[in-house]
Structure 1
Amino acid sequence: MTALTIRPLQPGETDLFLSYPFPRQPELWESQRDYVALLAAKAYRPEHTWVAIRDGVVVARACWWTGPEDKRPYSLDWLEAEPGPGQVELGTALLRKAHETMRNDEGRKPDYHLFLPPGWRDDAMVRVAAEARLQTARNVDLALFVERYSYRWSAEQDGLPDRSDRLEFRPADDAQMLVVLRQVLDGSLDAHDQRSVAEHGLDRAAELQLEGLYWFPSPRDWWQLAYTGSGELVGVIIPARNYDMPTIGYIGVVPSQRGHGYGAELLAEMAWRLNDHAPGEAVGADTDFSNVPMVKAFARTGFRITEEHLVLTDTAAGK
C-alpha cells in the first residue's frame, strides 16, 4: 500500500483541504462548518489544519479551532477519515503525527470537542460515525471527560422568559468578582469547575476563572452580581459574546442560595440583556448532563437542546 503523507496545510492550500472526496455525515458538526469562512475569521488556520494524503488524495483531515487572538490551538473539532474498515487507523495516524506539535498553552494535546445531534445513540448511522471518531481519539490518549448539552435561544423563536422581580443586579470590580467566584466554585456541579478546584484549590481556581472570562470580547461592564431585595448575595451573571454569537458566558449561584430556583432567574435576566444587546440573534449556551439543576433551569427558561457535546481530554500529558 502506498505510504501516507501527513502534514499541515501550507498557506494557499485551501482547495487541497476541500478536495476530500468521501461521503460525509450531514448530522455531524464538521459537515455543517464553513471552512473558508472560519479560515477568514482566523478560527481555523493552515498550520492548525492537517491532512493525510495517499496517491494524491486526501484520505483524512482534521482542524483545530483557535480564538482569533490566540496563538496556540484550543480544541480539535473537525476530524474525518475515509469511511470503511481503515477509518480509525487513518484518523489515528493523522492525530499521532499532528500531536507532535499541536499542543495547547499548557503543553497538552488540545481537547477534542465532538458535537452530535440529540439522541445520536438511537441513530445507527450517526452512532457508527461517532464511535469511529471516539475510538480514534482514545487511540491517541484522549478520553471522555464530560458530556454536555448545547443550547440555543432567541426571543423571536422562543419568546422572552419571565423576568425576575425578586433580584437586583449590580456591577462589581475584579476583587468583588473574585470573592463571589470562589463561593460559586465551592460545590459546583460543573465538571470543568470541579477539575480546576481539584488541581489548583479554590483560590487559584477562582483566579483562573476570572482570567478566563476576560477571553470574551464583549464589554466587561456586562458582568453583574445578583442580590435579593434585602441585599443578600445570590450569584453572578456573565452575559457575553464569543467570536460567533451572544452566549451565556458564566452563571453561578452561591451555596447558601442554591435550591431556590435562582438559576432560571439568572438565565432569564441574561436572555433579556443579550436580546437587548443583539436583538434577533440566537444565544448559545452549554451545561453538563450531570448538572441537573442547570439542565432544569435551561428548560424552564425556554432554551432548546440543539446538540450533545462530548469533550475528550488528554490523559497522557507530556507524552
Structure 2
Amino acid sequence: MVVIRPARPRELPALLEFPDDAERNAATRAYLGELLAAGCTRPEWCLVAEDGGGAPVGSAVLWTLPGQEVPYAVVLFEAPGSAEVAAALLESAAATARSLGADELEHVVDAPAQAPQFQRDPERRAELLRSAGFRVIRDGRRFRWAAGAELPPVDARLDFRSLDRLGPAPFLALLAELLGETADARLAADVVRYGARQAAERLFEETAELRHEPHWWEIGYDGDGTPAVISLPAENPSVAVIGFVGVAPAHRGKGYAAAAVVRGTRLLAANGAREVRGDCDAANAAMAKAFTRAGYRNFAERLEFSRPL
C-alpha cells in the first residue's frame, strides 16, 4: 500500500535520498533548500510516498514563481522502480494543485540527466507521465552561455528601443504579429486557444513575472523604421534567461534573432550574470541557429508535459 503525505520537517530539504549517489543527493538538497527559501515551494507542497512499512519510496514537489500562491509545475519527481508509486504521487500532486486553484500542471524531463534534478531514465519518466494523463506540449532544446565565452558584436543594423521608452503597446503589437506565424508548438497552441492578441498578452504577462528591468526589454527596429525583433531577457529564481526572442515575419532570414540573443546576453552579463540559458522548440531551426551564432551551446533536450486539472 502506498501512502502520500507532506514531508516532515526533519526530511527537508533532503526529502528522498539515494544510497551511493552523493552528487545527486547534495545537488537536489541544495535545490530544494533554495526553492523553499525563495518561496517557489512550501513544506506542505513537498510530497513523500512511503510504502507499507513507512519507508520513503518517492517524492514530488509543487513549484511556482516567487510570490505566487498557485503552483503550476512539479519538480523533484522521484518514483524509482514503481509505476504504482509514480501514479499515486502524480495524482496527489494534481489534486493538491487543483485544491490551490491550478487548472493545469506541468513537468519537464531533461536529457541527459544533470543537476539539480538528475532525471535518469527519461524514457521511463515520460511513459509514467503519459500514463498519468500528461501530454507533450513541446519538444525543446536547451542552450547555455557561460561567462568568458565570446559574444559577437551588437548588430549595427538594428536600433534597439526599450520598454521604459516605448511602453507596452508596441511590444504587444509585435508579439501578436509574430505569434501568428510561430514555429513554437506551445505558443502556436496558445494562438489557437486564445487568438494571437490574447496569446501575446499572456506571454508578455507570464514573462513579466520573472525578475527584469524595463530597460532590458527591447524592440530592435530595422533600418526602414519598422519593428523587426523583440527581446525579453530576465532572471528566474536560479539563473538568467533569454525569456523570449521573436522576429517579425517580414524580417526573418536576416540574422536578427541572433542579434537579439547577443543583445539580451550582454544586458544580463552587465547585470552580473555568469550564465545565461535559453530554450526553443526543436522545430524552430532558426532560433536554434540564433543561439549557436550567439555563442551558446546546446546542452540538453527538454520534453515539456502538461496535464489539465
Give the TM-score of the pair, scaled to structure 2.
0.88
- The Cα shift of 1:189 comes to 0.9
Question: 1:79 aligns to what?
Answer: 77
2:36–2:42 contact (8 Å) kept in structure 1: yes
Q: 1:16 to 1:153 in 2, by over 3 A?
A: closer
SS in 2 for 1:307: strand
Q: 1:128 to 1:298 in 2, by over 3 A?
A: closer
Question: 1:188 aligns to what?
Answer: 182
SS in 2 for 1:205: helix
Question: 1:51 aligns to what?
Answer: 48
Question: 1:149 aligns to what?
Answer: 141
Alignment of 1:28-107 (within 5 A): 34-54=31-51, 55-83=53-81, 87-103=82-98, 107=102
Cα distance per residue 1:201-254 (max 9 Å; x no partner): 112112212222221221123211111233222121112122222210111111
- For the pair 1:140 / 2:132, whether they are aligned, the reply is yes
Which of these residues, 291, 295, 307, is aligned with residue 298 of structure 1? Answer: 291
Question: 2:303 aligns to what?
Answer: 310
For residues 16 and 261 of structure 2, what CA distance do their matches in structure 1 show? 43
For residues 17 and 295 of structure 1, what CA distance do their matches in structure 2 show? 36
Identity %: 29
Which of these residues, 190, 195, 199, is aligned with residue 201 of structure 1? Answer: 195
Alignment of 1:181-260 (within 5 A): 181-260=175-254
Alignment of 1:248-287 (within 5 A): 248-278=242-272, 281-287=274-280
Give the TM-score of the pair, scaled to structure 1.
0.85
- The Cα shift of 1:97 comes to 2.6
Q: 1:160 to 1:198 in 2, by over 3 A?
A: same
For residues 25 and 293 of structure 1, what CA distance do their matches in structure 2 show? 40
Question: 1:18 aligns to what?
Answer: 15
2:158–2:220 contact (8 Å) kept in structure 1: yes
Cα distance per residue 1:96-154 (max 9 Å; x no partner): 23322223987434111112228xxxxxxx99722221122112100122121121112
- The Cα shift of 1:13 comes to 4.0
Segments of 5+ residues of structure 1 without an aligned counterpart are 119-125
- The Cα shift of 1:64 comes to 2.0
For residues 17 and 119 of structure 2, what CA distance do their matches in structure 1 show? 22
What is the identity, as a one-letter code, of the residue corresponding to 1:241? E
RMSD between superposed Cα atoms in Å: 2.7
